[in-house]
Structure 1
Amino acid sequence: MKIQISPDSKTTFAFVYFLFTFMLLWEWLRPLQAFTDTANTFIFVFFIGISFLLAFLRVRWYMTFPVKIIIILFMLHGLFFDGVFFSFLWLKDLFQDLMFNFRLMPNADWVNMTSSFRTLLFFILLWLLVYLIHYWILYQKRILLFFVLTLIYITVLDTFTPYDASLAIVRTVIIGFFMLGMLYLDRLKKVENLNMKRLTSFRWILPLFAFISLSIVLAIFAPKASPQWPDPVPYITAIGREGGEGGMQRIGYSQNDEQLGGGFVEDDTEVFIHVSSDTQYWRIETKDVYTGKGWEASDPEAELEEITNFNELNWTDERVETKSLKSTIMINNSYRHLHVMYPLGLSAIETENQLSFYFNQNTELITPFRENEGSRQEFMSYEISYDLPSYPLNEMRKEQSFASVPEGFIERYTQLPDSLPSRVRELAIRITANEDNQFDKVKAIESYLGSDEFSYDKEDVAIPEGNQDYVDQFLFDTLRGYCDNFSTSMIVLLRSIDIPARWVKGYTEGEFVKNVTNTEKEYRVTNNNAHSWVEVYFDGVGWVPFEPTKGFVNPYDLTFDYKAVEEQEQEIEQEEPTVQEEQEQPQTPEKPEQEKQEMNSESENEQAGRNFLNIRLDSTAVYITIAVMLLIGLAIYKTRMKWLPLLIIRKYRKRTDDQVFFLAYDSLLKQFDRFGMKRKDSQTLREYAQSIDDYFQMEHMTVLTKNYERALYRRDNAKEEWMRSAELWENLIKKTSS
């Protein structure tokens, strides 16, 4: 004799499965904020939580799909786009962003994809992952592979990154063992065709719980041996250093760049630590004269000028969209250079001892001291303010006239030695032959250097001999090198087709150390982070950084137009009527007090409406509202068996047409399906009706089914059969709500 399974028991186990799986997937997201630059990981946790909830409630795909799309769009808008979400005007920017990234995909140009597109891809990945895990659990009844992968993931991160996974490993093991035991029971019931009551299932779960609890206690209190193997990280990072001193230079900042080439030995000596809320490159200086062997400054004797107004240091056009940020820099006491490391868009520098700062107009090097003055003890830390730019793509694709640049500017930044081999210029022309604007030509050369033809190498790097050109050697002979090779080659290729570009050197953002606040992170910059990159000049935009070196990602973002273009046009439109109103004001009669009050009231209502629509991602009220709506939706869904039968009865009770019996009977079958008594594929209607009557201990369903079959095969009396069966049908519907 088979035991009837309670639907509540199945629901309880399914909820536990989904909850535990959600917690396992959460372990994949927890470390992201600790060892990567990923911020706001809570939005991804929220998304997978909603996805698992919808899967648990068995909501149809045509409902879950739009819900997830709306959540993704809401998150993307809050993170990357301006304007009011419900106006949907920002969708145009999103569409343009997608088109830009889709054009990069055929060339596998992954590093230049925008942050918004990567976030969208991550949401889609999580969506697919939730679906896959849902299939593993409910249909395959297996979790071992995902459990093992999770353990490997967090243990590797615990070993090789700053993330502390001690508690994560414990949580994962506990959840994984519970899931393995419970899913094995489900597979056993399926194979043996067993039906168990809830109490029988708990007899399996309780020993499992006791065994896992005992294992945890023993693991906590048992003596633990010290590590038998040494820490592998120092050994791995040291590979390649030994024996590399002969003829090699040590990596780091150097003032002399006249002779480039040759390998180097890594050096993790700390240069500075910075606390920042965004990532960017740290500039030190630029060079503009390419000699065929390296770089020099066109005016090496240029004097330092005291900075009286940082707003005069303009690297970008004032119309370029920027984000105001601050960073705190603490320089290592052993760092011997007395220059400032600063990001593009620098607007202020502050020190405790109120130092003045001096600027080299030729190289853009900034220092707190004049020549041969000052000491490290006087300049150990400083705070900077800067306006991080987002460069307008549409403007950079326009024709470049360079009408507003100073005299000699283009000649200075397109300078090349007469000894440059002609095949370098021919290569640049060939790479950019299919492009019709400066930006696309620059990107074509950047992509070419990032192709599989070239490889990044820090040791086996050639030095040009005799009359051999440094760039020509790299582009046509060795095809291997590090940042100096890639950046210098890109600049020479650009200059050979009359695109102004310059060489910039400094440091990358460094290695993540820890979270300081919710928005600020601490980074450690060492000599290994010394780097060089490219800046290209665009008319109407300014100097724009590009990153040709393989394995490096440009930290600067692209936008599609100048900042607040639409806002400026609206301000102009609003200002013109204002002037006219002022001129006509004496002739305009004063409005009645009541009319003023009505206008004020309307204005307040409009403002309230705008405030209501202008919902931002960082608003606590938004998440409270979403949570309340989800709870209300969950409550409605969980109580559907109480109110849904009443709606069904009301829908069919007063109908007397020929089709009502067939529609009402079909609704009854669906209601029993929701109740947990689904009709099997092999069951006839009469067999299914008999199982319903056995469950409720009556004969209503059998009688109703016989009447339904008579109406089905004898269509002429369907109305009469319904009149005789309506009461039976209503009683059966009510049974599902009891």
Structure 2
Amino acid sequence: MKNTLKRLKEYAAFEWYSRISRIIIIFSLLNAIAVFENYWWQATFTSIYMALLLAGAVDVLLPGMRRRLRLPLQLLLVVVSTWLVVGASPSLTGSEEGLRKFGAMIWSMLVQFNPYIWFSLAMLATYLLFSAWTTSRVRLFGFIGANLLILTVADSFTPIWLWDNVAWVVLLGLIWLAAGHLHQFQRHHPGSWKELLHYPLQLFMPIAAVLALLMAAGLFMPSISPVLRDPYTIWKESKGEKVNVFLGEKGSDAGGVTLDTSSGYGRDDDQLGGGFNFDYSPVMTVASSHRSYWRGETKSFYTGSGWLELDEGTEPNNVNQLKKEQELSLPYDRKLADTIEVEQTVTMIRKDQYPVLFAAAPINRIHWINDPEANLSYRLTWAPDDQELRFPLQGRGRQPYPESYSVVSTVPVLDEAKLRSTHARLYSSNENDHYTQLPDNLPGEVKQLAEELTKTATNDYDRAKMLELYLRLNFVYTNEPDLGKLTGESDDFVAQFLFEIQEGYCDYFSTAMAVLARSVDLPTRWVKGFAPGALPALGVDAADRFDIDTFLQGEGTYTVRNSDAHSWVEIYFEGYGWVSFEPTAGFSFPYTIAGEDAAAPTPEVEEDTDEAVKAAAAEKTDVSYKGFYIVGISLLALLLAVSLIVRRQELKAAWLRFRFRSYTANERIVWETERLLRVCRRKGLKRSEHETLREAVQRFAQHRTDIHSELTQVLNDFERAKYSGAEATPEEAEQFVNKVKHVISLL
């Protein structure tokens, strides 16, 4: 008990700096990974946070724990916290027995852990690495500098605002340097340190005031344009390229500099073109019964440079004052089309305002908005001609965009045979003219190309598919089209894409198809919204939990990001309605094909099923064995790693014995003394060329009175080994090595 109290007292007296270092490392890493909060899955982010906080808590709160016990405890806490965050549970089919059953159980849990456990273990390893590495002021500067370099580069060349993160790293670095200075003062002048502790306010208040003043000045200084340009900007501008300048709000114009835009859903479509940077920040999640494009607005008037919607808000068929479960009508007949219902629950992540509610098209009913139990309080408008569920962005009493909503859509089933039997013609001649409009100055070569591509088609649907396939196969997708290819011969956006640039992103492809389709009298409109997004990583923990039908139809919760913002086209077919087409290379519209959603016939059951049962059992056994082998190898690798870490001191001692096997005891003492001098030089105790070792040690002792006796013992042992001619014993050499280690620990 006395020894424990003594150790705790020593820790409180001297190891406070170690605890502060651990805390600063934790906050620095938390500050760094906070950048990815809106880019990673929430479970990934939470498991990493928990792993880092628990590992740090063990170091800070259990200072007396031996290292060989501390690391296994940290590993255990990381695994348990990840398990709790992910909610993993063993899953068995019931046919396994004994050791195979245990292996299958562990395997099912590891599958559910993937990939979260690897992120957590990587963060634990990063924390332990930096905790062990930042033992000197030079390495401390290296850690802070690496943090600042990563954050400042990301802040300068991405749309992410990271200035606050940079400021916090600077503050943490200054606190760390101040703590290191005080720690060195305590070690070198323990008496003066004790005296200073009698006046804590006078000691710490100036430090806190200076740090607070610097932090406030950094955070609240106004943003200004840079006076000097960096080499990267000069190099990019010399090539005629633009460099993003971010001031104040990210992406806002600064000093008249034209900025590249970031991907996302925007309203200004009258001037298409240019390039953009991908923004992977999430916009919303969509829990849907089927995979789909999440449709937003449609535009129908092509100007030659972009799209306009001239009559928005004046359509006579618009319906206001909508109610829950009210069926939203359509102004056209869909007698030829079979439909399926797609249930969707949308949860917004960003706080942006949008002019429409996003969903698979067309929306049929609204279940609820924000609250499943409340009546609709939002002033929505159903525009059946455009199939838009509009949300007011202007006017008195403007409401915030819904945080969540649930709708059902009636999506047409794609039946190509029926589509080939009908015509692409609208229900009135005026409407048909509206959706075949083209500017008078459209280059004639665009119409000629459309006619040439479709001359062999015998029906309107095949004409549309030929145009779609031509664009998908002959043009390159890129978010940074080379505008240097423009010759200036044409001002038309589509003509420039088809005959000059021949590369681009969705706006280029979709607008080109809309214009080509209109050139052969197919009623077409331009649509924008979001591509489906991404499902979570597929983790199937047991065969009986996997529903192949659910997987194929795309049921799940999709994370939709700004990088998923997309545009495509719709063409009207008589008796069918508006049909989506996807001309963009690399994209595929998630159609429901006729026959895919039909009820599967009940298979005939044969009386003799022994062979099938045996085959299934053999396959399951093979999977179980594979899982057991993988689990076994993983556990052995983990145990080996833990053993190496726990026994690292013994391994280090064995390596030193091997290294110095040819040294005599005297040679080993001389080598260790030289090593001590190298450490002293790094600590500021330099030996001059004209000094003997005794003179240097005597001078060192005057500056460091606290280690005078230890230095004198080392000096005497060195002179005896170097000059006396008497051979030291191996035991004396080992004792000298321990003395040197002790002196180094006191420096």
After TM superposition, the score normalised by the length of structure 1 is 0.44
After TM superposition, the score normalised by the length of structure 2 is 0.43
